Structure 1
């Protein structure tokens, strides 16, 4: 039987991988007394299928084949402890004799708990979505992680440290607010978070100038956020704190409506709150009332378009509202005032939100003036 050493595995197994290996061994389905199958709670038929469920969060740079072998070897170690129809790490060995101190600690902790409790813990790595695969990291989660990297200077994050544990809890709150996970569960494991932080380290000259590389499998969104915030640690801290403050204060705003078709640089949560405040019917009605009293019409504050003037009665009191406060400051402003709203036509509103970073009203006016000037010259 292949061992971890036999396949050339030199990386240290994470505590999370040991726990999953323990679960796979202990909860093996041997109900027919003939064939050992993966735990039924995973909903897969093959052992490779079971291993693959954990690849995204536990691979730590291993190839899929290396990961399968390592997790299989970890599972095999625990087979000597359970009557699961498998022969275990070494047939004939005394039960548990091959366990390392870390393996034994996992067994001694979890043997006092039920299989259901064990799966509930393992399920934190899976998050029921599709076939138990974790959803991709959101911009919001990455902002929280990037804030930690830029403002804590920790280039060698330890998954089992108290700081990473607290970071995992903050990221889990973001996932719960976005509806990606049930409250109280972890969306990203400490190991997965440490890997993500090492991705950011690979972009950071303070780390790479010393000849170190970090992890080099960062994705496009990580690169985009690094380019946006790496030189502005105070700004990313402001955005991260704002996201967490909004989660505490604005759950109804965050979850009340369908996903906007656009997303701000500051992430999905701030975008949802921004849009919900633009659509607040009471505020919008008051804003229109004040504008009619002051100007006698509802004209776009960017281009001057008037729906009533153009479309007649059908366009009466038709116009959209745009929330003008910088989206990164939403967490600092719990209440939206009328002065924070601008009346804009549909076209200008879409142009403001068309690309990141979003335009201000003045940006939109300047672009319109510039475009009109270019047409006049031609």
Structure 2
């Protein structure tokens, strides 16, 4: 690539620019606050008619990665020149249709006989947000500020808050992904993935077998994934990934034979039944021990530690057998008194 060095000298106060001419737009290296014009090139008619701005909307919002277009409408500009300046560092980005920055994302656009001067910023980044000045090199100079806002777009799959979707096998599945388009972003695209593998939109092969995708475009891009008959191989993590927005993911569970509600109901019945029998066993045990310790024979110490209490409970008080010696009080105590 051949490079030519051109030096341009403008009227007082003196400004010197070094321009490298190569492929693409000429690039001027340097930081300058103002661009002066050649007074001799301004006609008497231009001096009588002072330029002014059309105060259109001066706020522009784009999503991260999209292309921003900042517009400036100048009336009665004559032979004067329009420059775009980044206010944060006073860097002259463009002058006329020439680019004065090494960042190739910036460029100026102007149609002949048009009053609109546009600064284009491709692949916007968060650091691009801020104030930009459209400046006319009149005497005195006039400027118009445009504010750029850069936001991060996010995809949103309509699903429960826990991002878990449960369906019965062979039932229909519909996943809807909504993405904000922003201004002039009708070429945006959405891609679907199952466990990290791209889905075949025609629904013929791979993990996309039996899957269809439809789209609607308005202020939002709505992409709907439809599975007519869900099978076990459709289970997994479905991801909606727009070309310029943060993706969203849901997990699809395909249940064989029972729906999620039925599984929850059966689980609840089993759990309740288990609690019932545990409570019943506990009450029966308490009743038996209460019967034993409150029996009169027990209160009189009618059985020994070596014999089972049941014969003593069943025997009559008038039995001819001699009563065993009562146990010491300290060796036997009801559980509820301990």
Q: TM-score, normalised by structure 1?
A: 0.21
Rg comparison, structure with higher value: 2
Structure with more of its chain in helix, by fraction: 1
Q: TM-score, normalised by structure 2?
A: 0.22
